[in-house]
Amino acid sequence: MVGHKSFDILRFIACVAALAIMLQIVLGALTRLTGSGLACPDWPLCYSLWFPTPTKLARLGIDYSFVQVMLEWTHRFNAAVVVAPLVLAMCVFAWRERKLLPVNWRVSIAVLTVLVLQGGVGRFTVFDHNSPWSVAAHLGLASILLALVLSLVRLKSVPYHDWRRRAASNGCWSVAMLGGLVLTTMVSGAIVAKSGATLSCGGWPLCDGGLMPDLRDSGIVLHVVHRLLALIMVIGLLWGSWRWRQLRHLAALAFVQVLLGAAVIAIYSKHSAGFQVAIGAVHQIVAMIIFAALVWSFWAPSAVSSVAQKKY
234-258 pLDDT tens trace = 999 998 888 877 788 888 888 898 8
pLDDT at position 171, please?
A: 64
User: Comparing 57 with 82, which gets the higher pLDDT?
Assistant: 82
Cα 34 to the center of its chain, rounded Å: 18
% residues pLDDT > 90 (the chain): 34
| Burial classification of residue 81, based on how many CB atoms lie within 10 Å of its CB (0-12 exposed, 13-18 middle, 19 or more buried) | exposed
Range in 114-118, 214-218, 254-258 with the lowest mean pLDDT: 214-218
| Whole-number Å distance between alpha carbons of 73 and 165 | 44
Whole-number Cα distances in Å, 282 to 30, 203, 285: 10, 20, 5
Task: State whether residue 181 is helix, strand or coil.
Answer: helix
**16 close to 83: Cβ distance less than 8 angstroms:** no
pLDDT at position 35, please?
A: 85
**118 close to 260: Cβ distance less than 8 angstroms:** no
Spell 215-242 as b/e; 16+ CB within 10 A means b: eeeeebebbbbbbebbeebbebbbebbe
Check residue 45 and report its DSSP letter.
S
In the predicted model, what is the mean pLDDT of the chain? 83
Q: Is the pLDDT of residue 228 over 50?
A: yes
Q: Is the pLDDT of residue 57 over 80?
A: yes
